[in-house]
């Protein structure tokens, strides 16, 4: 459970707030996606919800951030271990470097929490299997490809079974198969009741996976709602987010009266195919 | 093997270990001077063993005390600083410059995270070099620790706020490095551990009738202050290039005004 | 400059490889202490031939062992013989003359002794490095309650050094490949800055993120972390280590007493 109310934050060296008057809620079993252009404050928001901002960066914070009912302003980072998991944008920095094999790297968090060895081994092996890393389990984390490192970074957080997951562009270096694995794992987590905050630029995946979408621009939330509402908004491009091509195509078609009136603009490929299919069928009938 | 166990009596508490370690190093150094290394014992084994054991014990104490209380950001900083030491050392070696410049990271950590962190960086960098490049670096762990420690103390005294005093600090660090490393160079390595240039300089001093320790010390006092002054300049250049938010993560810089206020860190005060 | 590669040496499966890293570390320390303890060049030579060489042969790493000694010990020994052979303080017994230089017997015997001491020191540690994976050594140390911060710093440095080294080498090669002709020391130094600067600044800038990742993964959260892997140890090895340590302590005590007397 994530609850943010009237939250503003300025970095110690910043002249203007990185986040301004942010408010949103994400409940258990929910996946909330955050989109926005670069410099919009997405990574800062990920840091805020995971407790690293402002605890590690310093800076001036106002407003409320609660995770699982605890106010982060008075919770040290060590108090959140095992509750909040943070997957960073750059897997190279997420990998601790303290361990020499993939398997041990995944175990690092559990070792720090003092989990007994047998339980640890079982949990690590499950995660290795789920993310398709079993083949490389004895390799050095630094010998992996960028995509594999990203999976490893995610696995090293998943294994700690946090109730709140914060992911900052976790699939940026992954191919289609790799990101499918990640979204599958996220789906499983959601079923288990995990609260997820996901920063992601692959709109087509988001549209299917997210319950809500927030749009950040210049440190403020400029839109929030269901993926269908937000991703079809025509101001998306003004906010620095590239809209889906088939949404744009449908909007242009609608402007020329070629999109079924009752249908909302599509944000998934299936919805787009159905809509255009309906238009074509309608035109066919009209021709006849 | 040193006992690192955490259930230690209070006089071996983490805070005290740095002091004890420094004490052991100083006593060792004083002992080496006092027994007049030119005497019959001075040649060969026993005196070298004394230097080796005293310095290693001192280094172990300093490192175990220094590392225990470091915050996570500093812990994450140390491997990078050690890497910079090694990579810059290698680049300088390959580029044929007659310098070492293998303490840039150590000095930098001393300045941004304090004497204890600086000492740990230096000593552990020697361990890493010992493990990956040459075991010959291991006996010098204490020298490296003292470089970081001195950098931290001088930063605390405010010498790194302006470039001229920083260069002076570099010279002082060099004096400490030269003096502390001399017994290892002289007794453990028979004055043959460094580069060919260093050895030639030492041989010259010996040819002019200086004893082994004196020759090694003189060589250190000629070469190290220059090298460390340049090291400090480079470390300051790196500090200048780092984003302001980075330095703000270190309480040592933030609270003690170790560095000059930068125009881009106006709000940091 | 060739380097001792730490990690690839896990292939061997000899008795020496299987020993606890602590046993090998204690052995390296003890054999070094013992070598320095006696003022007679035959003693370190005996230690090297009777202990280190057989161990290297037994571990099937003799070739690499000798190669590493050739790379690191031979140059030191050579410089040692030149510096001390000709310039040993207060030496009078001239064996040979090369122009103005006089080779003196005191210097040669001192150089011989010191070179053999260094041979044992280097040999002991090479044996440890050639037969031990860094991961095993670190696990063994963490089982002995060595601070997790220390383990982290050493392990991370061991892994980041090659990564950054490779990037630096690539930059230097690219510079040469572009055919830049660089004159003089200042030119060389000036050419390096724009290339290496960003690499180093980038490495430092990453520190904040890495610290955040470590803390959210519970680094430092408990006083008693557990460990996924165990390092095999035995009662025999434990008593062997105790005996070696006793040996080292006695050697040091006798020596300190001898020097002080």
pLDDT in tens, C233-245: 999 999 999 999 9
SS3 A7: strand
Average pLDDT in the B45-49 region? 82
> pLDDT at position B10, please?
72
User: C171 lies in which domain range?
Assistant: 145-216
Q: Quote the mean pLDDT of chain B.
A: 86
pLDDT > 90 fraction of chain A, expressed in percent and rounded? 77
> pLDDT at position B23, please?
93
**DSSP sequence for A180-229:** HHHHHHHHHHHHTT-EEEEE---HHHHHHH-SEEEEEETTEEEEEE-HHH
Per-residue pLDDT for B37 more than 70?
no
**CATH topology classification for B72-260:** Arp2/3 complex 21 kDa subunit ARPC3 (1.10.1760)
> pLDDT at position B5, please?
46
SS3 A112: helix
> pLDDT at position B269, please?
36
Per-residue pLDDT for B40 more than 80?
no
> pLDDT at position A108, please?
95
pTM of the model: 0.90
In chain C, the number of structural domains is 2
C116 in a domain, yes or no?
A: yes
Q: Which CATH class is domain A1-79+195-238?
A: alpha beta
Give yes or no for B67 touching C (CB within 8 A).
Answer: yes
CB contact under 8 A, A81 and C218: yes
Dihedral (Cα; C199, B241, C189, B123), 10-degree rounding: -70
Mutate to test the interface with A, among B246, B264, B267, B269 (most CBs of A within 10 A): B267
C9 in a domain, yes or no?
A: no
pLDDT in tens, A117-135: 999 999 999 999 999 999 9
Distance from the Cα of B7 to chain A's closest Cα (Å) equals 18
Chain C positions in Cβ-Cβ contact with residue B38 (cut-off 8 Å): 89-90
pLDDT in tens, B125-159: 999 999 888 888 999 999 999 999 999 999 999 99
Element (H, E) at A86: strand A84-87
Per-residue pLDDT for B185 more than 50?
yes
Give yes or no for B254 touching A (CB within 8 A).
Answer: yes
CB contact under 8 A, A13 and B265: yes
CB contact under 8 A, C22 and B1: yes
Q: Angle, to 10 degrees, between the axis of helix B72-95 and the axis of helix B104-113?
A: 150
User: Would you list the domain boundaries of chain A?
Assistant: 1-79+195-238, 244-288
Chain A positions in Cβ-Cβ contact with residue B128 (cut-off 8 Å): none
pLDDT in tens, C116-140: 999 999 999 999 999 999 999 999 9
How far apart are alpha carbons C86 and C77 in whole angstroms?
A: 14
Average pLDDT in the C101-115 region? 91
Listed in sequence order, the residues at least 6 apart from A79 whose beta carbon sits closer than 8 Å to its beta carbon are A70
C139 in a domain, yes or no?
A: no
CB contact under 8 A, A111 and C225: yes
* Cα separations in angstroms, A258 against A234, A246, A252, A270: 17, 14, 8, 18
Picking from A273, A23, B263, B265, the residue whose alpha carbon sits closest to that of residue B253 is B265
Categorize the per-residue pLDDT at B43 as very low, low, confident or very high, splitting at 50, 70 and 90: low
> pLDDT at position A123, please?
97
> pLDDT at position C185, please?
65
Residues C116/C69, Cβ–Cβ less than 8 Å: no
Check whether residue C208 and residue C116 sit in a common domain.
no
pLDDT in tens, B168-177: 999 999 999 9
Average pLDDT in the C55-79 region? 94
Residue A164 φ then ψ, to 5°: -125, 125
How far apart are alpha carbons B88 and B108 in whole angstroms?
A: 13
Categorize the per-residue pLDDT at C1 as very low, low, confident or very high, splitting at 50, 70 and 90: very low
How far apart are alpha carbons C168 and C200 in whole angstroms?
A: 9
Per-residue pLDDT for B4 more than 70?
no
CB contact under 8 A, C259 and B46: yes
Check whether residue C170 and residue C41 sit in a common domain.
no
Average pLDDT in the C75-87 region? 92
With CA atoms as reference, the chain B residue closest to C68 would be B134
CB count in 10 Å sphere of residue C250: 13
Per-residue pLDDT for B261 more than 80?
no
Do strands A220-225 and A212-217 pair parallel, antiparallel, or not at all (unpaired)? antiparallel
> pLDDT at position C4, please?
43
Picking from B178, B170, B109, B117, the residue whose alpha carbon sits closest to that of residue B143 is B178
> pLDDT at position B195, please?
77
Check whether residue C175 and residue C251 sit in a common domain.
no
> pLDDT at position A271, please?
92
CB contact under 8 A, B268 and A13: yes
Helices marked H in C95-183 — which ranges? 105-131, 134-143, 148-177
User: Would you list the domain boundaries of chain B?
Assistant: 72-260
Average pLDDT in the C101-110 region? 90
pLDDT in tens, A94-119: 998 889 999 999 999 999 999 999 99
Check whether residue C21 and residue C111 sit in a common domain.
yes
Chain C positions in Cβ-Cβ contact with residue A88 (cut-off 8 Å): 209, 212-213
């Amino acid at each position: 459970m994530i609850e943010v109310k009237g939250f503003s934050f300025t970095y110690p060296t910043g002249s203007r707030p990185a986040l301004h008057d942010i408010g949103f809620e994400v409940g258990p079993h929910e996946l909330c996606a955050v989109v926005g252009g670069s410099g919009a404050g997405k990574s800062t928001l990920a840091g805020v919800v995971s407790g690293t901002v402002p605890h590690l960066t310093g800076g001036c914070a106002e407003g409320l951030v609660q995770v699982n009912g605890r106010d982060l302003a008075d919770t040290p980072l060590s108090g959140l271990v095992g509750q909040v998991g943070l997957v960073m944008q750059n897997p190279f920095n997420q990998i601790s470097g303290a361990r020499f094999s993939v398997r041990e790297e995944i175990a690092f968090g559990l070792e720090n929490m003092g989990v007994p060895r047998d339980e640890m081994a079982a949990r690590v092996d499950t995660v290795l299997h789920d993310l398709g890393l079993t083949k490389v389990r004895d390799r050095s984390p630094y010998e992996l490809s960028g995509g594999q490192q990203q999976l490893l970074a995610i696995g090293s957080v998943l294994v700690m079974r946090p109730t709140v997951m914060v992911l900052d562009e976790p699939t940026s270096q992954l191919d289609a198969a790799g990101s499918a694995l990640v979204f599958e794992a996220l789906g499983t987590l959601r079923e288990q009741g995990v609260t997820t905050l996901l920063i992601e630029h692959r709109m087509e995946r988001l549209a299917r996976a997210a319950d809500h979408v927030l749009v950040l621009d210049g440190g403020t939330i400029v839109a929030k709602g269901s993926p269908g509402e937000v991703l079809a908004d025509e101001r998306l491009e003004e906010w620095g987010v590239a809209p889906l091509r088939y949404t744009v195509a449908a909007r242009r078609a609608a402007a020329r009266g070629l999109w079924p009136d009752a249908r909302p603009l599509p944000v998934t490929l299936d919805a787009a195919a159905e809509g255009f299919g309906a238009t074509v069928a309608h035109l066919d009938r009209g021709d006849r | 093997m040193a006992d690192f166990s955490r259930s230690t009596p209070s006089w071996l508490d983490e805070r005290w270990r740095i002091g004890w370690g420094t004490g052991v190093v100083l006593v060792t150094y004083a002992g080496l001077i006092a027994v007049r290394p030119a005497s019959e014992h001075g040649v060969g084994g026993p005196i070298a063993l004394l230097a080796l054991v005293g310095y290693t014990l001192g280094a172990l104490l300093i490192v175990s005390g220094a590392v225990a209380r470091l915050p996570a950001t500093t812990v994450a900083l140390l491997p990078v600083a050690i890497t910079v030491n090694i990579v810059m050392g290698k680049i300088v070696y390959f580029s044929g410059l007659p310098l070492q410049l293998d303490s840039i990271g150590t000095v930098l950590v001393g300045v941004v995270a304090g004497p204890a962190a600086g000492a740990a960086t230096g000593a552990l960098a020697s361990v890493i070099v010992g493990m990956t490049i040459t075991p010959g670096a291991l006996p010098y762990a204490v020298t490296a620790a003292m470089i970081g420690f001195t950098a931290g103390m001088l930063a605390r005294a405010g010498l790194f706020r302006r470039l001229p005093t920083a260069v002076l600090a570099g010279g002082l660090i060099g004096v400490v490095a030269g003096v502390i490393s001399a017994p290892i160079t002289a007794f453990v390595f028979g004055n043959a551990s460094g580069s060919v240039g260093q050895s030639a300089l030492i041989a010259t001093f010996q040819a002019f009738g200086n004893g082994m320790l004196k020759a090694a010390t003189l060589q250190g006092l000629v070469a190290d202050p220059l090298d460390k002054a340049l090291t400090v300049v480079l470390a300051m250049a790196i500090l200048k290039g780092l984003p302001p938010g980075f330095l703000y993560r270190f309480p040592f810089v933030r609270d003690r005004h170790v560095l000059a206020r930068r125009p881009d860190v106006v709000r940091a005060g | 400059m060739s380097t001792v590669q730490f990690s690839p040496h896990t292939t061997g499966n000899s008795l020496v490889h299987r020993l606890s890293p602590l046993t090998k570390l204690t052995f390296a320390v003890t054999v070094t202490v013992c070598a320095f303890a006696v003022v007679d060049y035959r003693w370190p030579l005996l230690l090297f031939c009777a202990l280190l060489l057989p161990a290297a042969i037994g571990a099937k790493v003799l070739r690499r062992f000798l190669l590493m000694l050739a790379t690191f010990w031979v140059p030191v020994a050579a410089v040692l013989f030149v510096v001390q052979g000709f310039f040993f303080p207060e030496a009078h017994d001239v064996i040979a003359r090369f122009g103005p230089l006089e080779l003196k017997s005191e210097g040669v015997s001192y150089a011989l002794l010191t070179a053999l001491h260094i041979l044992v020191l280097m040999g002991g540690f090479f044996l440890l490095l050639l037969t031990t994976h860094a991961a095993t050594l670190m696990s063994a140390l963490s089982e002995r309650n060595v601070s997790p911060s220390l383990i982290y710093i050493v392990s991370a440095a061991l892994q980041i050094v090659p990564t950054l080294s490779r990037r630096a080498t690539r930059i230097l090669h690219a510079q040469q490949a572009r055919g830049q002709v660089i004159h003089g020391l200042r030119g060389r130094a000036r050419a390096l800055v724009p290339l290496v600067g960003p690499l180093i600044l980038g490495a430092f800038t990453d520190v904040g993120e890495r610290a955040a990742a470590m803390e959210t993964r519970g680094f430092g959260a408990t006083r008693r972390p557990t460990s996924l892997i165990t390092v095999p140890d035995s009662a025999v090895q434990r008593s062997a280590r105790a005996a070696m340590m006793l040996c080292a302590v006695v050697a040091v005590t006798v020596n300190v007493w001898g020097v002080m007397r």
